[in-house]
Structure 1
């Protein structure tokens, strides 16, 4: 979702201080899920649910005041349950960020509808499993229709070691054909978001960041009539960065709560209501310990715990998952760097649902001089 990251893009991007860059990430995430209820009785056999994805971000610092950011991606998601692949581009995102004064940023952006539309019944089922927040797939939404975004942000220096910022954003979508078969045009509701952050810098490069975000969703429509009224979303986060010689540890905690979704229609509810962001409460905890063997080569181990509760998602989203593994980062001169990370996944859901799997991520960053 564009709004959730509005503050991060405007205030933490290196676009204002560094060169232009192109970053691409290739990720392969594979889950084996057991204990899924079969509506006909009993449980399904263990189900494979996989996604291979490519995400790219291009940041072009045209002048000291104007930065252009473009994002797009591609993914292939597979669900063994109905032997269905969901493959194609995601929508593109294009932002123009203008800094009229050191403390202000104005932004305009657009969603370019490159993504998947007119889904078949089997593709909808595969999409429901992909959208499940418990699965942790990096690309969970393929098509949202043409849209535009407006943002305004302001930074404040509270002292030599403390700074803060606030941002507001508005996102509007156009109608699009979500399902094949002429079920009617779908329109995602407008989104209005407010976010703020506080950075506290300590001695020897240590830093604490606290952030808050609130998103108000408008009503989704199908065929011009109200379909789903999405609940508001609140997010709180904290991140602690602790360098110590060749070692650096980073700890992050994020909590998200989203109100219940209200369904106005019953036709196509099983397939369409899952377009709405899943309601419920979510907690994410990340830890990372890195060691720099040289200025250009870094080794790290990471752990990630996620927990979800009170979700009404049709494909059960409540449960916990744990992921851990090693990774490396290697800087190839001043203009390029690569990263490689492996994670083992283990988790449990409602009832007898359990899953395990793996996640492999490769990144490449190219920078202009």
Structure 2
């Protein structure tokens, strides 16, 4: 809209990047838009990677058809990681050495999975799951494998364990906490998730860590636990968390958030970074929440809403008010849904539990903070209005 030839450059060709570009066009933005991605693939949806892609049910995860980019006037620069950003020059530098000028820069570079500590060599059979290529590589080994160990029982670890078990493997799920999802949802709900996995044949090992991964001829053969147990493994999937991708910002002057509050790129409540005309969103961005506290959130719908906010900021419109946070996790034949902002240390009120499916309310100081359900889609979603304003949890019990 400024008439400049540089326009908006978006670093990160994922969900956040494509939604920003799409929203800009929908808001009437006519200047150039360039979408730069480190991967060779056009923007795709990540949640299916640990679900339908891993199960071999679906390979079509592109967020937009191929013709969309030409029709919308969006230039794709794929397979070109960004190595530097210079706000003073308003340019970015690619791994090839090429530079791209911008009027406005949007950073949506996401996360890198943490590797297993001390495992420096490239070991066949050891996987992480973050990209489409990761999912395809893991899927390609399933038919020749019989045993798998998943390290880490967060959402990704639980989904991968469920997927591998569904494909017929004998799966062990190892978690240092006392239950799966304990860090995110607390041990009470974690115990209900444990029940689901055990009922579906998962060898669940909680309260124990991994001492080492045993390797023979550059191929994984076992996982050794801190309690002395050795688990045979044709496949090992490491799901021990991720770190924001920010290395390319070294020397840029763009402020990063402290690790204690989640790390990532420090932003205000509408995505502005410390540098003029530079925004950040999605998993890599640490926005101020409604209480003015820094918070980095790694959920699909959060990224979609932030993309709308940033696009409105760039085009001069009002910021869009974020709705109630929501995400889901498919494990076996059960959809686990999380509404709001529940914390592991909240009070938990299980209001429905039939032995497989459940609904629980979370509260803090007597006020409803979140709702978690498994296999109870309608019951969970009807509580959304109660989370839009402060609601005493006693009103729902």
TM-score (norm 1): 0.21
Whose strand proportion is higher, 1 or 2?
1
Whose helix proportion is higher, 1 or 2?
2
TM-score (norm 2): 0.20
